[in-house]
Structure 1
């Protein structure tokens, strides 16, 4: 039913009338046109002017209705009471709400009541939110402050106002930043806004590692952190060890929420706290096996340890921290040992068939920040089964090179004629709020490289680039083991043809 119906009752007794748009006007006098010709004849240009429409801004009916019926409460036929406040409203407008429409049309006792006491079970709903939501029934547009959107969303969900719920969702997606992302995510989870949840997760995957923030780490709960750490879309800077380090800082803040200091001091204080606990306990129990550590087990489970123990300094740090249970590390050491043996003796030259599930679950995550435009060349540290991969950014090209003989290398280098590599490379730059300004991705790719071969990964359009530029890569250097593929292992006495 139109919002403008019912206005006539407000204007009863006045010598005015309503046109089709609801604006009040005095009746126009009736003028009988005279015969053409003589002094009563109008020039043709005057006729054309009479037929030309003229724009004139009149008082908005929506504003009039909002002021007269909602704010002033004229001709109210129902009173709503909630949270110690009263609103003099109109059933015809309230029926836009699914909540009130059901109440008034059914056999509920409230359907004939003039005063209704609303019970508010949701702590996010306050009187200011109810004022906005009730007012939205009397106007065409609603301005929603990002700081108030969660409260308004809660009230809109209670009153079943789909249009307002959608507008709240759009407001949240437009204003995701370091201060709002956690509250928006939790609210979207509570009220079923999947698109807002997805936007918040996307923001966190992009910013958790690239723009570390103490307050954000304090606010992130274990459930959402678990989702972030297990994702292959996590923008990692620099290598997997940095994911472990970030989790160590996060765990320290969860257990010491009153800590207040600069981000540069956080890791030092976290390490000192862990050292003090170990010395006071006087035992070798890994921290995750203690009562304080147990809640963090599901999160640490998703660290890709196979890419941490491949670096000597990182492996030693894991042993020193004594956070992880030793059986976790033993299993990974065994897995990596067999992967190395397959590479050496089974001629495993890397993945040759598309296996996106394996890639998403087990790929190496690494990244690099390019502060300004220029020439860069780097490699990520760690034992990569003789695959020394150099990455170059120059003249707006990103190039992979399989280094075998042309450049010095600190570790063993494979001399196999060809090596296969699965990869995905992503580029992104962000504004001050963490929103993506520009981004590019290669998607999941397979490439075969011969010795010292170069391969152009991406050719960038300079007009789309802004710095600093973040480069994030996922790599898979080896094929899945037979155990993970589900293949039947060969019998011990079987023979194999040597090629």
Structure 2
């Protein structure tokens, strides 16, 4: 936002020094004349240096015109030609400055009755706007820069949107993106959705995808609404720790806090208290009137990766949250997938199908607290694909274990198996912001028996611990039966 200060420049400094330089040259000129004209005299170069000094601008800090304007015209209200009244407060302002606002520019230039009024009563329809925000926004019209407190940015954004100040709106958006944290993310997301700041909404969702599972927080879960958490749970970019069952467990905690917002205690105690909120008469909770609100969220859990583990499947049955027909469809789907891999030699995805991957890949993760050697596998029925993941010497390696190491489950003896995968690494600061991140992107991989594959070679200078590893895997290729079932009865895995 411009001000009269931009029309003035300080005069160059250094004139007195140049004058003194002239005197020095004249005192030595007679001695120079006695010397041979062909010989070099240092004084010969001084006129050129003098010219260079005259052409070189020198900075001198004058009293800031912008500060003078802000103090005299805005704060003191001198020479005011219009009074703005709002929320019980008055501002003595100037039309020439108010016209920087699209709101006032239209008001003064059109056929509105306010165009010739000296006092305007401003109606404030937005409850996010208060007098402090109006003070900042009106003041921004009289100065070159504005300092916005992260705690006040939503109110200032609301006022800036009402008065149609595009520059200030953009500055509010930048302030919000720089200060996303567990305390601000929900409020910023809600404000960004109201005032149309898509880039801020995207930044908030990215923060939540990274932190919802990696840094679980009771107060954050209380604030998250159904719409936002539904977007998170259905995304393949969700940083999952450890397996899909942990997504279900996190949703149980979230649902309990939505139903009992007064609950207070540590995150570990939360899971103990969750089962106390049960449905009656044996009806699955999501089928009750109280539970229907949460149905859209639970439909996005990838149940096929929960029922592939016996202990997890038993917990689902015991909790009685998920309707039985959801589970029966998944059991059927998984049974046919198992038969395909056993009899039709489905050795996994061999063609790129990113849509299928994003909707149906297995989500799992691991936290590496410090640098060292790690080796782990995500157990469950994975169609005979025993995949070992190793972190050592700054390398991450996949190994298809067939015969070299013991395995508690079935192991496929097919000569080759295919899988689609994406591996991501990230570390965060205390506010949940990314410090560093790496991703392999979506890839197809073929592994022979006991074959190893280096997935990522890491630069130690870019790593910071604790380090979070998140993997997405797809072990089977999409079947025509599954696509047909999904189109007919909407039982596709991602919408169950």
Normalised by the length of structure 1, the TM-score is: 0.88
Pick aligned residue for 1:159 from 163, 187, 190: 163
Pick aligned residue for 1:75 from 69, 72, 79: 79
> Does the 8 Å contact 1:427/1:469 carry over to 2?
yes
> Does the 8 Å contact 1:178/1:216 carry over to 2?
yes
> Does the 8 Å contact 2:83/2:118 carry over to 1?
yes
> Structure 1 residue 56: deviation in Å?
2.0
> Does the 8 Å contact 1:423/1:475 carry over to 2?
yes
2:95 corresponds to: 91
Pick aligned residue for 1:311 from 304, 309, 312: 309
2:4 corresponds to: 4
Q: Secondary structure at the match of 2:396?
A: strand
Higher RCO structure, 1 or 2 (CA under 8 Å, sep 6+)? 2
> Structure 1 residue 284: deviation in Å?
1.1
1:463 corresponds to: 461
Q: Secondary structure at the match of 2:137?
A: helix
Question: What is the rounded CA distance, in whole Å, between the counterparts of 1:42 and 1:77 in structure 2?
Answer: 63
2:8 corresponds to: 21
1:171 corresponds to: 175
> Structure 1 residue 2: deviation in Å?
6.2
1:145 corresponds to: 149
| Partner deviation per Cα, 1:319-371 (whole Å, 9 max, x = no partner) | 00000110000000000000000000100000000000000000000000000
> Structure 1 residue 172: deviation in Å?
0.2
Question: What is the rounded CA distance, in whole Å, between the counterparts of 2:291 and 2:405 in structure 1?
Answer: 45
Aligned length: 457
Question: What is the rounded CA distance, in whole Å, between the counterparts of 2:112 and 2:290 in structure 1?
Answer: 51
Question: What is the rounded CA distance, in whole Å, between the counterparts of 1:82 and 1:147 in structure 2?
Answer: 22
Q: Secondary structure at the match of 1:470?
A: strand
Question: What is the rounded CA distance, in whole Å, between the counterparts of 1:41 and 1:75 in structure 2?
Answer: 56
2:481 corresponds to: 483
| Partner deviation per Cα, 1:368-410 (whole Å, 9 max, x = no partner) | 0000000000000110010000100011110111111111111
Distance 1:51 1:356, change over 3 A: closer
Q: Is the helix fraction higher in 1 or 2?
A: 2
Distance 1:73 1:484, change over 3 A: same
> Structure 1 residue 3: deviation in Å?
3.1
> Does the 8 Å contact 2:150/2:175 carry over to 1?
yes
Structure 1 stretches of 4+ moved >4 Å = 40-53
1:66 corresponds to: 70
Q: Secondary structure at the match of 2:417?
A: strand
Question: What is the rounded CA distance, in whole Å, between the counterparts of 1:108 and 1:23 in structure 2?
Answer: 42
Question: What is the rounded CA distance, in whole Å, between the counterparts of 1:186 and 1:3 in structure 2?
Answer: 33
Question: What is the rounded CA distance, in whole Å, between the counterparts of 2:468 and 2:96 in structure 1?
Answer: 55
> Does the 8 Å contact 1:125/1:154 carry over to 2?
yes
> Does the 8 Å contact 2:86/2:124 carry over to 1?
yes
Pick aligned residue for 1:265 from 266, 269, 272: 269
Question: What is the rounded CA distance, in whole Å, between the counterparts of 2:7 and 2:216 in structure 1?
Answer: 58
Q: 1:288-437 alignment to 2 at 5 Å?
A: 288-437=286-435
Pick aligned residue for 1:285 from 263, 276, 283: 283
Q: Secondary structure at the match of 2:380?
A: coil
1:493 corresponds to: none
> Does the 8 Å contact 1:23/1:61 carry over to 2?
no
> Structure 1 residue 51: deviation in Å?
6.0
2:437 corresponds to: 439
Unmatched tracts of structure 2, length 5 or more: 12-18, 30-45, 486-496
Distance 1:51 1:315, change over 3 A: closer
> Does the 8 Å contact 2:302/2:360 carry over to 1?
yes
Distance 1:420 1:50, change over 3 A: closer
2:113 corresponds to: 109
Normalised by the length of structure 2, the TM-score is: 0.89
> Structure 1 residue 23: deviation in Å?
7.8
1:496 corresponds to: none
Question: What is the rounded CA distance, in whole Å, between the counterparts of 1:190 and 1:459 in structure 2?
Answer: 43
Alignment pair present for 1:240 and 2:238: no
> Does the 8 Å contact 1:146/1:172 carry over to 2?
yes
> Structure 1 residue 483: deviation in Å?
2.5
| Partner deviation per Cα, 1:191-241 (whole Å, 9 max, x = no partner) | 000000000000000000000000000000000000000000000000000
Question: What is the rounded CA distance, in whole Å, between the counterparts of 1:387 and 1:2 in structure 2?
Answer: 65
2:257 corresponds to: 253
Question: What is the rounded CA distance, in whole Å, between the counterparts of 1:376 and 1:142 in structure 2?
Answer: 50
Unmatched tracts of structure 1, length 5 or more: 6-18, 25-32, 488-499
Q: Secondary structure at the match of 2:4?
A: coil
> Structure 1 residue 65: deviation in Å?
0.5
Question: What is the rounded CA distance, in whole Å, between the counterparts of 1:361 and 1:424 in structure 2?
Answer: 13
1:29 corresponds to: none
> Does the 8 Å contact 1:65/1:138 carry over to 2?
yes
Question: What is the rounded CA distance, in whole Å, between the counterparts of 2:117 and 2:126 in structure 1?
Answer: 24
